[in-house]
Structure 1
Amino acid sequence: MRALMATPARYLVVAYALAVAIGSILLELPIATQAPGSGPVVDAVFTSVSAVCITGLTSVDTGTHWTPFGQTVILGLVQVGGLGIVTLATLFTVALRGRLRMSDQKAAQADAHADEPGRVRHLVGRIVRLYLLIELVVMVLLFIRFRTTYEHDVAGALWQAFFHAISGVNNAGFSTHSDNLIRYVSDLWIIGVLSLATIIGGIGYPVIFELRKAWRTPSRWTLHTRLTLFGTAGLLALGFVMFLALEWANPATIGGHGWHEKVVAAIGGTAFPRTAGFNAVDYGLVRPETLVGTQALMFIGGGSAGTAGGIKITTFLILAAAMWAEIRGESDVVIAHRSINSSTLRQALTVALSGVALVMTGAVILMLSSDLSLDLASFEATSAFATVGLSANVTPTLDPVGKVVLMVLMFVGRVGPITFATSMAMRSRYRHRRYQLPHERPIIG
C-alpha cells in the first residue's frame, strides 16, 4: 500500500529530473551558445533546472549567451515544465495505447491535481487546450504591440511575442532581453498583457473551469475558487499600494518617471512577484522595504494546480483563518460557512513550515558560500523556492555551491515539499494507528 501511494510522487520526481537532464545535454551542445564551443556545465544545468521548474532565475544572460537554438530549448523546457511532465506524458500514452494504465492515471492525477482517476484523460486534454489557447491569445496581443512599436520585421516581432507569451503564461519569467522588461516599464500594453497572462496562468485550471460554468453566480463557487480569487485580488491590491508607496520617490527605480510610468511599474511590481519572475525595475536597486514585501508575495505565490509556485494562496489563507479562530477561542476553523478539517490544516502547516525551513537553510548556505547579506540571500532563496525568478542581480555572481543551492530549492519548490518527501521516504500520508496514546498538553508561548 505504501509503495502504491508513493509511486505517483516517485514518477513526478523522476520525470522532472529526466527533463532537467535532457535539457542540460541540449544546452551543453555547441550550437546552443553564442561563444565557440560549449559553455560551462553548471550554467547549462542551472538554466535547465530553472526552465523545467518554470522559475526564470538565470546564471547567464538569456539573450546574449544562448543562440536561437538554445533559446528554443529553454522555451520547450518551460512549456513542458508548465503543463506538467506527467500531463504531457499522459497525452503521449493515450495516443500510443489509446488507454491508460492505473499507474499512469495515478501519476497524472498527482501532477494535475485531479480528483477522479477515471477522468484524467479527459481532464488532461482540457488543461492542455486551455493553456495553449491562453498562450495563443497572449502571443497575438504581444505581436501587435511588438510589430507596431518595437520590431521592424514580422519574424522578429513574432519571435518576441511567442517567447514572452509562453514564458508569461507558464509563470517562467525568461526574457530575450538583457534587462528583462525594464525597457517596457512605461508600456501599459506589454506590462498589462503579461501581468494578466501570469495571473491567469497562475490561478490554476480548477478556478478557470469553474468560472466558465458559474462566473455569474459567485454563491455557487467552491471554497477553493473563493479563496483563490479573493486572495489573489487582495494580494494584488496590497502589493500595488506597497510597491507604489515605497518606490514612488526612489530615483534608482521609478522616482524619475511620471505618474503614468510609476503606475505601470507598480502593476508589474505586484503581478510579477506572484511567481512570474519578470521585472520592470532593477530589484538590485529597490528599497530594502520593497525587497521584504516582495519576498512575502513570492513566498505566498499563486493558485494551486496552476503554473504558479510558492506555498499557494489557499495555504496562506487557511493558516490565517486557523490563527484567527485560535485568537477568538473558536474550536473550529470556518471560512465562508465551511469548516476546514484537521487533515487540511496539517497539510497547510506542513507546506508552510517546510517552505520556511527550506528558505532559511538555503539563505544560510548562500551567506556561508558568499558575502551576501541576509536580505539578499533570503530574497534569492525565496525566489528559487517559490519558483519566481526575480533576482537582485545576485544569481550570476554566485559560486557553484550557491548555484547548486538555488537549483535544489527550485526543484523542490516545483515538485512540492510533500511530494518530494513522499517520494524519498516512500511512506503513505494515510497511515492510521490502531491505538491512541495518552494526551498531554505542553505549554505554548
Structure 2
Amino acid sequence: MRSIWSGVMHPARIVPLAFLAAVIVGTILLSLPYSTPGPTRPPVLTAAFTTVSAVCVTGLTTVDTATYWSPFGQVVIMALIQVGGFGIMTLATLLGMLVGGKLRLKSSLIAQAETHTLNIGDVRHVVRRVAVTMLAFEAAFAAVLTVRFRQRYDDSWGEAAWHGVFHSISAFNNAGFALYSDNLIGFVDDAWIMFPICVAIIAGGIGFPVLFELRRRWKTPGLWTVHTRLTVWGSLILLVLGIGAFLALEWSNTGTIGGLSPWGKIVGGVTGGVVPRTAGFNSIDYGQITPETMAVNYVLMFIGGGSASTAGGIKVTTFFLLAFVIWSEVRGERDTNIAHRKIGDSTLRQALTVVLLALAAIAIGTMSILLVTDLSLDVVLFETISAFATVGLSTGITPDLPPSAQGILMMLMFVGRVGTITVASALALKSRHRHFHLPEERPVVG
C-alpha cells in the first residue's frame, strides 16, 4: 500500500493530476447556463477549451471573452487564471525544492533559489510567500490600471476596478485574457495601460525564486546564483532584441503600428517585444504582421520566460544553458562553466531533453492540424508554438478551427504548461549513478 501511495504522490503525477482536476471543475462551471448572458448552456468544447486556456494561463480563445461570457463566467475565468498561476508557481517551486533536496541532502526539501536553510517544515511558509508576492504585485498593478480606466475612458469606479483587477491578474499570470472584443488593440498607444501590463508580465514571468533572491540580495548584497544570472540577463537580452526587432520590422507596417505617432509606435513596439514572452495580449492584429516578425515571434514564444514562473516555453535558463554548451564546444572546452561555476552533465542533458521533447510536441501538433485543415504552414506553426508555450497569441484562426484541431491545441496547452515542469522534475528525481563505465565510442557527428 505504501509503495502504491508513494507512486501516486510522485511529482511526475501530482502536477498533471492537479491541473486536470482544475480543468474538470472549470469546464463544469463554464458549462452552466449562468456562464453566458443567454439562457442556453455553452457547448462543452467551448467551455473546455476556455478552461484549459485559463488554467494553463495561455489566452487562446474560440469565443469573445468580453461578450460571450457573463460576469459570472468572466469571474470563473479570472479565478481559473489565478489558480493556474498560483498552482504553477507553487508546484514548480516546491518541485524544485524536492529535486534539490533529493540531489543534495536526500532527507529534506531544499530550494537553492529560495534559501539555504529551508526544510520540510518550511513548505507552508514558501506557499504563503508565493501567495503574498502574487497578491502584492497584482494589487499594485490593479490600482494603476483602475485609475487609468477611470480617468481616461470614463468608466465608473466599479467598472474601472473590475477591469483593473481582471487585467492585472491576467497580466501577472501571463494569461492574455482581456475584457474587450479586440483584446487590447484599442490601447496600443496608451502607455499608462500598456506599460503597467508589460511590467506585470515581466514580473510574473521572471519566476518566484528569482524575485525572492533579488529581494534578499537587495537587503543583503551578495553574488547571484547561476539560475538568477541566467534568468535576469537572459530575459533582458531577449527583451531588448525582441523590442528592437519588432520596431525595426513593423515601424512602417500600416497594418500594425505604421499608422501611429512615433511615441505610439514605441509603446506598441515595447508591447510587441514583451507579450511573446509569454503573455499573449493582442495590442495589434497579429494576422497583419510581416513574415519576418512572425519568425522572430516563433523564437521568442518557444523560449518563453523564467523557470518556476507563470510564463511558458522551454524557459530562459534552458535556452541559455544550451547556448553556453555550444560556446564551450566551439572553444574546445571540456566543461561548461557559467559565472565561475561548472554546470553538471545531468543538468545539461535535462535541458537538451526538454528542448527536444518540446520540438517533437510542436512538430506533431503542427502536422496533425495541417492534416485536418487547409491552412498554411506559417499560421499553423505560429498557433501551435503559441499553444505549447502557453503564449496565447494568434493570427485569428483559432475560432474557425475544426473541433479536432481545437482538441490538438488543448493538448498542446496542457502538455506545454504541465509537461516541462513534470519532465524536468522527473528526470532529476530519476537520476542514477552507474558503478561502471562502458567502453567509449565516438560516432560521426555532422
After TM superposition, the score normalised by the length of structure 2 is 0.90
| Residue type at the aligned position of 1:223 | V
Shift of 1:34: 2.5
State the shift of 1:381 in Å: 0.5
Task: Give the letter aligned to residue 341 of structure 2.
Answer: R
Taking the TM superposition and a 5 Å limit, the aligned residue runs for 1:246-395 are 246-395=249-398
Is residue 147 of structure 1 aligned with residue 162 of structure 2?
A: no
Indicate the RMSD between aligned Cα atoms, in angstroms: 2.6
Given residue 19 of structure 1, which amino acid in structure 2 is its aligned partner?
A
TM-aligned CA deviation for residue 210 of structure 1: 1.2
- Kept in 1: contact 2:304–2:314 (CA 8 A): yes
Given that residues 275 and 388 in structure 1 are in contact (C-alpha distance below 8 angstroms), is that contact kept between their aligned partners in structure 2?
Answer: yes
Alignment of 1:115-264 (within 5 A): 116-215=119-218, 220-264=223-267
Which amino acid counterpart does residue 194 of structure 1 have in structure 2? I
Contact 2:314 2:420 in 1 (8 A): no
Conservation of the 8 A alpha-carbon contact between 1:2 and 1:428: no
| Aligned-partner residue type, residue 429 of structure 1 | K
Q: CA deviation at 1:116?
A: 4.3
Give the drift of 1:118: 3.5
Q: 1:21 aligns with which of 15, 20, 24?
A: 24
- Aligned with 2:342: secondary structure? strand
Matched, 1:401 2:404: yes
Hey, what's the Cα distance between the residues in 2 that align with 1:266 and 1:253? 10
Alignment of 1:32-111 (within 5 A): 32-84=35-87, 87=90
Match of 1:98 in 2: none
CA distance in 2, matches of 1:170, 1:111: 22
1:431 positional shift: 3.3
Distance 1:262 1:86 in 2: 33
Pair 1:351–1:38, CA change in 2 (3 A): same
Question: Which residue does 1:444 correspond to in 2?
Answer: 445
Q: Compute the displacement of 1:188 (Å).
A: 0.5
Change (3 A) 1:416 1:240: same
Amino acid at match of 1:287: T
Identify which of 392, 413, 416 aligns with 1:413: 416
| Gaps in structure 2 of 5+ consecutive residues | 95-105
The residue type paired with residue 65 of structure 1 is Y
CA distance in 2, matches of 1:116, 1:409: 35
| Structure 1 residue identity aligned to 2:251 | W
Is residue 274–residue 297 contact of structure 1 (8 Å, CA) maintained in 2? yes
User: Distance in 2 between the 1:301 and 1:110 partners?
Assistant: 25
Contact 2:311 2:390 in 1 (8 A): yes
1:413 maps to a residue whose letter is G
Distance 2:153 2:413 in 1: 33
**Alpha-carbon contact 1:15-1:86 (below 8 Å) kept:** no
Matched letter for residue 137 of structure 2: I
Normalising by structure 1, what TM-score?
0.90
Residue in structure 2 matched with residue 103 of structure 1 by the alignment: none
State how far apart, in whole Å, the 2-side matches of 1:421 and 1:17 are: 19
User: Conserved in 1, the CA contact under 8 Å of 2:35 and 2:70?
Assistant: yes
Q: How far did residue 37 of structure 1 move?
A: 0.7
Partner of 1:227, secondary structure, is helix
Over 3 Å counting, the alpha-carbon distance change for 1:297 and 1:116 in structure 2 is farther
8 Å CA contact 1:84, 1:111 repeated in 2: no
- What is the distance in 2 between the residues matched to 1:214 and 1:421? 27
Contact residue 9 and residue 110 of structure 1 kept, 8 A: no
Cα distance in 1 for residues equivalent to 2:230 and 2:219: 17
1:247 to 1:305, Cα distance in 2 relative to 1, 3 A = same
Aligned residues: 426
Distance (Å, rounded) in 1 between the aligned partners of 2:112 and 2:172: 17
1-structure distance, mates of 2:259, 2:88: 44
Cα 1:223–1:86 change in 2 (3 A) is: closer
CA contact (8 A) 2:350 2:424 kept: no
**2: CA distance between counterparts of 1:141 and 1:422?**
37
**Aligned-pair distance for 1:215?**
3.2
Letter in 1 for 2:403: P
